[in-house]
Amino acid sequence: MADKLNAGQPPAAAWMGYLGLLPFLAAALGLWVGPAWFAGVLSAYGAVILSFVGAIQWGLASSADHPRADAFYASVVPALVAWLALLLPAWLALPMLALGFVVWRVWEGLNGLSMPRWLGRLRTVLTIGAVISLLGGWLALLPITGKG
What is the tens place of the pLDDT at every residue in 80-103?
Answer: 999 999 999 999 999 999 999 999
Q: Per the domain annotation, does 3 fall within a domain?
A: no
Whether 109 shows a pLDDT value over 70: the answer reads yes
Q: Per the domain annotation, does 27 fall within a domain?
A: yes
Question: Which residue type, as a one-letter code, is found at position 78?
Answer: P
Q: Per the domain annotation, does 91 fall within a domain?
A: yes
pLDDT of residue 60: 86
Boundaries of domain holding 91: 23-145
Of the listed ranges 5-14, 76-85, 127-136, the least confidently predicted one is 5-14
107: Cα separation from own chain's centroid: 13
Q: Tell me how far apart the alpha carbons of residues 20 and 49 are, in angstroms, rounded to a whole number.
A: 9
pLDDT of residue 108: 87
Q: Per the domain annotation, does 15 fall within a domain?
A: no
145: Cα separation from own chain's centroid: 25
Q: What domain count does the chain have?
A: 1
Residue 142 — very low, low, confident or very high, per pLDDT cuts 50/70/90?
Answer: confident
Q: Per the domain annotation, does 120 fall within a domain?
A: yes
Query: At a CB cut-off of 8 Å and minimum separation 6, what does 70 contact?
Result: 111
Q: Tell me how far apart the alpha carbons of residues 139 and 109 are, in angstroms, rounded to a whole number.
A: 28
Q: Per the domain annotation, does 9 fall within a domain?
A: no
Q: Per the domain annotation, does 66 fall within a domain?
A: yes
105: Cα separation from own chain's centroid: 9
Burial class (CB in 10 A: 0-12, 13-18, 19+), 57: buried
* Average of per-residue pLDDT across 120-145: 92
Of the listed ranges 23-32, 33-42, 113-122, the least confidently predicted one is 113-122
